[in-house]
Each structure stands twice: as structure tokens, then as C-alpha cells.
Amino acid sequence: MTSGKPSRPVIWRLSDGKAGHDTQSKGLAEALARLAQCTICDILVTAYSPSILDYINKRFDAGVQYPDPDIIVGAGHGTHIPALQAKRARGGLTIVLMKPTLPLAWFDYCLIPNHDRPAGRDNVIITTGVLNTVVPTTAHSAGEGLVLIGGPSRHFDWDPDSLIMQLQLIVSRQPHIHWTITDSPRTPDSTLGRISEQGWANMDIIPFKDCGTATLQNLYARAGNIWVSTDSISMVYESLASGARVGLLEVPQRQESRVSLAMKSLIEDGLLTSFAAWRSTNTMLTPKYTMNEAARCAGILLQRGIFV
């Protein structure tokens, strides 16, 4: 076992292997590292299942080669028990992202999105949406745009004809902007093919399987205007974190949900432009502020003395 405290604060970032969860925990860990010169240890816990003997003996084999943690960060149910076991075995404060299925009081801090309507507790920090790894930049280009599309979900249907109509208006009204479009794992296979058939000269297509993290981060950094389909709540918050102007592409809604209500709230707050508003005004709103929730939450945690 590697024990003892190095000079730099140590973050154990527990991962359940799910990309969406990793984006959140990485966002917080990296924001803390930028502010406090931390060492981040990424620990995959998908195969870790603590036993009663592990608990009794204060053992956490998944972290045996790492220095003792100051904090243990996890997103997703699969990281909750390992986080508690890691704390018992090696110390450190536990920080979970999203509303845990276990009691809130079991963790030192819970960062929970406002759309989950979390209980008011001293250890709860309410976030506007979910955290992510996007870092704001001022290097946006007015001549570059980004389109991010999702797919059907339990809250939304999918209408490729409507989507193509919206994109047709966007690319034809703004021929001076070169657009890059990418999809997501939820996007039906035929959607990008149908978009490609339109032959728009000012749009490139990069399928998500070819769009790695570095490529997407670069697109976020450069694009002055971003359109996101309404179903893709995580991509909406990533786009807002970039500092660009962000618009919502209309997607058929199955029912009112926390996602749709959150999108309406962001529009009312002047952070997003609805497609209907853009179509009538030909203008995308400049957000009132850049939503960098990872940095904001990192600052709150540091003010509360997590590394003292």
C-alpha cells in the first residue's frame, strides 16, 4: 500500500466506466486541480466489490498503489459504495455528483442538479445542470459554428424531417458561418446520412465515433455559435460552459419533464435562444454570463476547507 500525504492535495476520482459520469467527475477534479495544484488519481471501480472482510479490515484494494486521498470524487451509483469503502480504508472526504441512491448524510458533499430538486442540507451544493470538462474561452470565431444532435429518449421522440428543416434555415441564412455537425450514441443511424444528402457546402459532418474528446473540446473552443437538440441536456450545459452563443433545435416532446423544464428555465434566464425566437429575429442571444459550474463548485469546496 502506498500511504502518506504528498505535498500536493490528492484526489481519487472513482470511475464506473460510463462516459457521461466520467465527464462530470473529471470536470470537478480538473477544476479543483487548476485552483489548488492537485494530483488526480483515476481509479476504475467497475470490477470492485468490497466484501465484509474488506470493511472490517479497512481495505480498499482498488487504490492500493495510490497515495492517501484528501478527497474521493465519484459520479454514478456504481461509485457510491466504493467511495465509502475508500474513505473507511484510507481517509479523505467523499464527494458525489448527482443525487445518490444512498442517504445524503452518508457523504461529505453531494453536488446535485437543481432539476433534481435536492433537499436543503449543509452538505448539499445545488448545481445548475450537470458538471463537465469544458473550459470557457474567449477565442471563439464568428465564422465557425457547431451543431450537436442527440436522439430519441424517454422524454423526447425524434423527427429527422423537422431537424433537417431547421438546419436548412440555419445554414442558408448564415452562409458566412462554416458549421461542423456531430451526433451522439443515441442518434438513429440514418440521421447523419440524410443530413449528408443535403449537400450543404458550409457544413462538415463528424460522426461521434470519430470525434474524440480532444476534437470536441477544440470545436467547443472555436465555435462562436452552437446549436444543440433539446433532448441533449448534457451537451447543452457543455455548450453553455464554452462561452459561445447557444441555440436549441426543436425535438418532439413526449411529456413535460425535468429536462424540458430546465431548458425552459435557461431560455427564460437569457442563456439559450429557442429556434422559434431565432427564426423570427435571426439573432442568437449572447449569454448573460458563462456557466462554468465545475469552477464555481470547486471554488465553493475550497472555501469550505476540503484540503485543510
What is the pLDDT confidence band of residue 1, given thresholds at 50, 70 and 90? low
pLDDT recorded at residue 2 = 54
pLDDT recorded at residue 35 = 95
Task: Please check the confidence at residue 113 and state whether its pLDDT lies above 60.
Answer: yes
Q: What is the third-level CATH fold of 10-132+295-303?
A: Rossmann fold (3.40.50)
Q: What are the structural domain ranges in the chain?
A: 10-132+295-303, 141-281
111-119: average pLDDT: 87
Task: Please check the confidence at residue 3 and state whether its pLDDT lies above 60.
Answer: no
Per-residue pLDDT tens for 57-81? Answer: 999 999 999 999 999 999 999 999 9
pLDDT recorded at residue 259 = 81
What is the pLDDT confidence band of residue 262, given thresholds at 50, 70 and 90? confident
Per-residue pLDDT tens for 31-50? Answer: 999 999 999 999 999 988 87
Q: What is the Cα–Cα distance from 97 to 75, expressed in whole angstroms? A: 5
Task: Please check the confidence at residue 280 and state whether its pLDDT lies above 60.
Answer: yes
Task: Please check the confidence at residue 117 and state whether its pLDDT lies above 90.
Answer: no
Q: What is the third-level CATH fold of 141-281?
A: Rossmann fold (3.40.50)
Same fold, 10-132+295-303 and 141-281: yes
Predicted model pTM: 0.88
Q: What is the Cα–Cα distance from 195 to 294, expressed in whole angstroms? A: 34
